[in-house]
Amino acid sequence: MSPELGHFALALACAFAFAQTILPLIGAQRRDRRLMTMAPGLALGQVIALGASFLCLIDAAISDDFSVANILENSAVTKPLLYKITGVWGNHEGSILLWALILGLCGAAVAAFGRNLPAALRARVLAVLGGVAAGFELFCLTTSDPFDRVWPAPLDGQGMNPLLQDPGLAFHPPILYTGYVGFAVPFAFAIAALIEGRVDAAWGRWVRPWAVAAWAFLTCGIALGSWWSYYVLGWGGYWFWDPVENASLIPWLSGTALMHSAIVVEKREALKIWTVLLAIATFSFSLSGTFLVRSGILNSVHAFANDPARGIFILGLLGLVIGGSLALFAWRAPSLTAGGLFSPVSREGLLVLNNILLCSICAVVLTGTMYPPFMSLLFGKTISVGKPFFDAATIPLAIPLFAFMGFGPMLPWKRAQMWPVLRRLWIAALATLLAFAVATWSLSGVLPILCATGAVWVIATSATDIANRVALFRIPLGQSFNRARFLPRAAFGAALAHAGVGVSALGLAAMSQAQHKIVEVPVGQTESLAGYDWTLANVKTEPGPNYTALVGTIEVRHNGHLVTVMHPSKRSFNAQNQTTTEVSIHTNGFSDLYGVIGDKHGDDAHPTYVLRLHYNPLAPWMWLGALIMAFGGALSLSDRRMRVGAPRRAPVPNTVAAE
Amino acid sequence: MKRKTRRLWLVIACVAGLGAAAGLTLSAFSSNIVFFMTPSQVAAKVPPADRTIRLGGMVVAGSVHRERHGETPVNSFEVTDGQAAVTVQFEGILPDLFREGQSVVAVGSMTPGGGFAASEVLAKHDETYMPKEVAEELQKSGKWDPKFGPPPNAASWNAMTAKDAKTSSRGS
């Protein structure tokens, strides 16, 4: 019964979404308060219906209702409960439903937290969100119905890929999707502002928290995905520059630019048109990322052949959202008035530089991702670009970004002198010089050395920034502490997020020096790698619930002292005729020892085993840095100024000349 | 600062940024693009040894051999597209999803002896998965057309083409 209820609830949500699009838009145009105030209620109704629909699908998954095609294809009686629940969004249909649910939640959040927005703006924002939601709910209902029944219902499902049965991957999609979908809110604000023909400081103030929140989720989602590939795939790699990964990196880069340019709109009323364009671009990248790349349309032209209806629907929807918003932008943006003036050396000037560099990196990644499919589509040539291309093209752009990140936050607005700022940074500069010396001595390669130096510079200047603000060591410590207490949390948040970038970059630079070794050894043999002695002490076969595992015991010693005992294993799933690799990782916070066991060879009297041993310096820092960044974003969101002292709009000025 | 001066600065900065990005992209493209080739394409025109390529096709059944050079495990196997076969040498652990008679993509370069030294072997996804490039080449060579149903059973398909591949490579 419940799948039909879920299906009905989804249809209801779609109806709500259509109403949420049309009525408030008409209301805002005619200045009809009754129609405008319907928007929050409709948004709430939509999210309740979507929630009910999602619960129905989860219920069907938990109760093993194999008459539902989606459950049949992706679940089995023996699957653990956690993966029955998380498996709901591990497939195409379920993930679209989750996507719609998160979009609904964003709409409800705007309805709930947007009480102090002007009525017309709120109505328009909710209408845009409703329109996007309506499109995707219609897509879900017509071409990817998660509640489709099969008859007769089989007794057991087909099960889930064992590789995907992992807690990291279970929570990766919701977090990543929240990031992607979160950028729908700045997008809706941008469209509403274009319809209204007005962008001002208050608008920047309203948009910024949404951009920061979406960015923090996207950061976490990307880091979680990268961590998953590091410890599950067992190749020792953390980022493969494959189109699916790039699809999340591109909106992250443009979203980072958006978050920064919104500050300029809020504080100085400049860069308005640019910020609106960035908001549109970021959401367009998110949409294309989730749907074009994931559905394989870009990777393979044949994806259309599998289900033409889906491909055409999605392309049409993307064309409507992206093309429509860009057309609106082209039509309305010239009517937005130009903003405040600033000199190139000023905080705005540096934020502009930040935007240019981030967008350049974004353009490079976009080109690298799109070039191969276009070549194959237009010229029939199959090519690929990989890590060497992206490293060579993006890192030289990232290094000046690190350099400017250091002193940007310390420059005053509007017009600044470089000298007083640089004078305050001598300790940070000293630390950076020291780091450069250490990096030249311990790292090889120009880019890793520069990257590590830039990373230390960013961390040191972020610390200096906070120290300066609390006048550390210039006034008694107690007073400094008091100052720190009253320092806005956004200042700490920004410094933390910047320091997080530095921590991640240090991890990336150090990981370029990772060492590994592949050996085939009998039990008892010792190998040395990176100053550690790795001994294969024992290998045994252990039965599991639905697999048999080959478990190795590797003792790692450093100068004769036992550091750790690792138990990597290789599982063979008989049902799926599939093997998975269980990596064993030992970390001390500064480096990872990473062991993988491969096949058994030789006769039974003298068996040998293939081992893959890795030494990964500073590997945990890459993800730690991302967590620090996201935490910085969260801290900045908790700033009182984001919540209270709601900005009031200045009354509409009568025809003000732009000049 | 006048509005015009500011605009000039902005334009200069934008042009510099995008110019740098375009320059870096082009220079990285010229040295780092990796072409996909099938064994028959390799047989027709052997790429230079310093060029990295992606070699794709099916692993010939019964062609996988393992040796130990000192302590380093070396795998060798033949990759075919039904028209020619190339012997691939790979030092390391073959991926979990590597199977005889199934599709594979090897990244590496040709050796002077006409073999292929792989630095990476990719065999991803489930058993029915076939890399898009391999599927396209099979279609081009007339071995399989997606219009007429799913790909043929890997084992039987391979037994047939392995022979074909052997004869054609001997002939050439």
Residue A172 one-letter amino acid: H
Collect all residues of chain B within an 8 Å Cβ-Cβ radius of residue A381: 35
Instruction: Give yes or no for residue A269 having a pLDDT over 80.
Output: yes
Q: What pLDDT sits at residue A644?
A: 54
Last residue within a domain, chosen from A464, A489, A513 = A513
- Taking only the tens place, the pLDDT of each residue in A52-92 is 999 999 999 998 888 888 888 888 887 888 888 888 887 78
Q: Which of A300, A356, A384 sits opposite B17 (nearest CB)?
A: A356
Smallest CA-to-CA distance from A268 within A343, A348, A346 is with: A348
A651 to chain B nearest CA, in Å? 25
B72 to chain A nearest CA, in Å? 5
Q: What pLDDT sits at residue A97?
A: 93
Domain membership flag for residue A10: no
Last residue within a domain, chosen from A494, A513, A532 = A513
Interface mutation target, options B8, B34, B137, chain A, most CBs of A under 10 Å: B34
Q: What tokens does A441 get? A: 């001595």
Q: What pLDDT sits at residue A305?
A: 42
Domain membership flag for residue A106: no
Interface mutation target, options A293, A520, A613, chain B, most CBs of B under 10 Å: A520
d(CA A580, CA B97): 9
Pair (A520, A506) in one structural domain: no
Contact yes or no for A158/B128 (Cβ under 8 A)? no
Q: What tokens does B108 get? A: 């590496």
Q: Which residues contact A176 (CB under 8 A, 6 or more apart)?
A: A217, A218, A221, A222, A224, A225, A248
Domain membership flag for residue A20: no
Instruction: Give yes or no for residue A522 having a pLDDT over 60.
Output: yes
Pair (A404, A507) in one structural domain: yes
CA distances B135 to B78, B139, B145, Å, are: 18, 6, 9
d(CA A221, CA A238): 14
Instruction: Give yes or no for residue A32 having a pLDDT over 70.
Output: yes
Number of domains in chain A: 2
A384 with B25: Cβ contact below 8 A: no
Q: What pLDDT sits at residue A43?
A: 95
d(CA A89, CA A75): 12
- Taking only the tens place, the pLDDT of each residue in A196-235 is 888 888 898 889 999 999 999 999 999 998 988 888 877 7
Signed CA dihedral, A358, A128, A214, A316: sign only: negative
Q: What is the mean pLDDT of residues A521-535?
A: 87
Which DSSP symbol is given to A199?
A: -
Q: What is the mean pLDDT of residues A588-601?
A: 86
Contacts 24+ apart (CB under 8 A), B163-169: B164/B82, B164/B83, B165/B39, B165/B60, B165/B78, B165/B80, B165/B81, B165/B82, B165/B83, B165/B84, B165/B85, B166/B85, B168/B83, B168/B84, B169/B43, B169/B84, B169/B85
Pair (A561, A595) in one structural domain: yes
Q: What is the mean pLDDT of residues A282-293?
A: 84
d(CA B19, CA B7): 18
d(CA A412, CA A414): 7
Name the more confident of A574 and A462. Answer: A462
Interface mutation target, options A365, A610, A614, chain B, most CBs of B under 10 Å: A610
Q: What's the whole-number average pLDDT of chain B?
A: 73
Domain membership flag for residue A536: yes
Q: What pLDDT sits at residue B70?
A: 74
Identify the band that residue B131 occupies on the pLDDT scale cut at 50, 70 and 90: low
Domain membership flag for residue A579: yes
d(CA A34, CA A46): 19
Q: Which of B24, B31, B34 sits opposite A364 (nearest CB)?
A: B24
Pair (A524, A507) in one structural domain: no
Pair (A465, A553) in one structural domain: no
Q: What pLDDT sits at residue A609?
A: 86
CA distances A261 to A257, A269, A356, A630, B26, Å, are: 6, 10, 11, 18, 28
Q: What pLDDT sits at residue A329?
A: 92
Give the side-chain half-sphere CA count within 13 A for B3. Answer: 8
Nearest residue in chain B measured CA to CA from A518: B92
d(CA B118, CA B108): 4
A386 with B10: Cβ contact below 8 A: no
- Taking only the tens place, the pLDDT of each residue in B53-79 is 888 888 888 888 887 777 778 888 888
Q: What is the mean pLDDT of residues A1-28?
A: 92
Collect all residues of chain A within an 8 Å Cβ-Cβ radius of residue B151: none
Q: Which of B1, B31, B132 sits opposite A299 (nearest CB)?
A: B132
Identify the band that residue B151 occupies on the pLDDT scale cut at 50, 70 and 90: low
Global model pTM greater than 0.90: no
Lowest-pLDDT range of A509-513, A536-540, B111-115:
B111-115
* CB-neighbour burial class of residue A512 (10 A; exposed 0-12, middle 13-18, buried 19+): middle
Name the more confident of A356 and B37. Answer: A356
Show the domain range for A609.
515-619
- Please count the residue pairs, one from chain A and one from chain B, whose beta carbons lie less than 8 angstroms apart: 125
A284 to chain B nearest CA, in Å? 21
Name the more confident of A170 and A575. Answer: A170
H/E/C letters for each residue in A118-157? CHHHHHHHHHHHHHHHHHHHHHHHHHCCCCCECCCCCCCC
d(CA A76, CA A55): 19
Q: Which of A305, A382, A581 sits opposite B96 (nearest CB)?
A: A581
Strand positions, DSSP E, A588-641 = 591-601, 608-617
Pair (A484, A522) in one structural domain: no
Domain membership flag for residue A281: no
Last residue within a domain, chosen from A483, A513, A543 = A513
B25 with A393: Cβ contact below 8 A: yes
Pair (A564, A522) in one structural domain: yes
Q: What is the mean pLDDT of residues A503-526?
A: 89
Smallest CA-to-CA distance from A341 within A414, A408, A267 is with: A414
Q: Looking at chain B from residue 15 to 54, which residues have their Cβ under 8 Å from any Cβ of chain A?
A: 16-18, 20-21, 24-25, 27-29, 31-36, 54
What is the percent of chain A where pLDDT is above 90?
A: 40
Identify the band that residue A325 occupies on the pLDDT scale cut at 50, 70 and 90: very high
Q: Which of A305, A357, A598 sits opposite B17 (nearest CB)?
A: A357
Q: Which residues contact A653 (CB under 8 A, 6 or more apart)?
A: none
B66 with A344: Cβ contact below 8 A: no
Q: What is the mean pLDDT of residues A432-437?
A: 92
Collect all residues of chain A within an 8 Å Cβ-Cβ radius of residue B127: 577-578
B159 to chain A nearest CA, in Å? 21
Q: Does the beta carbon of B6 lie under 8 angstroms from any beta carbon of chain A? A: yes
B82 annotated ligand binder:
no
ipTM here: 0.72
B25 with A368: Cβ contact below 8 A: yes
Domain membership flag for residue A505: yes
What is the percent of chain B where pLDDT is above 90?
A: 0
B129 annotated ligand binder:
yes
Q: What pLDDT sits at residue B130?
A: 59
Interface mutation target, options B29, B51, B103, chain A, most CBs of A under 10 Å: B29
Contact yes or no for A318/A276 (Cβ under 8 A)? no
Domain membership flag for residue A330: no
* Alpha carbon A522 to chain centroid, angstroms: 43
Contacts 24+ apart (CB under 8 A), A535-539: A536/A609, A536/A611, A537/A565, A539/A597, A539/A600, A539/A607, A539/A609
Smallest CA-to-CA distance from A437 within A425, A426, A453, A451 is with: A453
Q: What is the mean pLDDT of residues B73-87?
A: 83
Signed CA dihedral, A47, A51, A53, A54: sign only: positive
Paired residues of A483 in beta bridges: none
Pair (A595, A523) in one structural domain: yes
CATH number, domain with residue A570: 2.60.98
Q: Highest mean pLDDT: which of A380-384, A389-393, A417-421, B9-13? A: A389-393
Instruction: Give yes or no for residue B168 having a pLDDT over 50.
Output: no
A343 with B25: Cβ contact below 8 A: no
Collect all residues of chain A within an 8 Å Cβ-Cβ radius of residue B66: 601
Q: What pLDDT sits at residue B132?
A: 61
Pair (A455, A508) in one structural domain: yes
Q: Highest mean pLDDT: which of A332-341, A452-461, A487-496, B141-150? A: A452-461
What is the percent of chain B where pLDDT is above 70?
A: 70
Pair (A401, A504) in one structural domain: yes
Pair (A535, A507) in one structural domain: no
Collect all residues of chain B within an 8 Å Cβ-Cβ radius of residue A383: 33-36
Pair (A615, A559) in one structural domain: yes
A360 with B18: Cβ contact below 8 A: yes
- Taking only the tens place, the pLDDT of each residue in B104-115 is 888 888 888 888
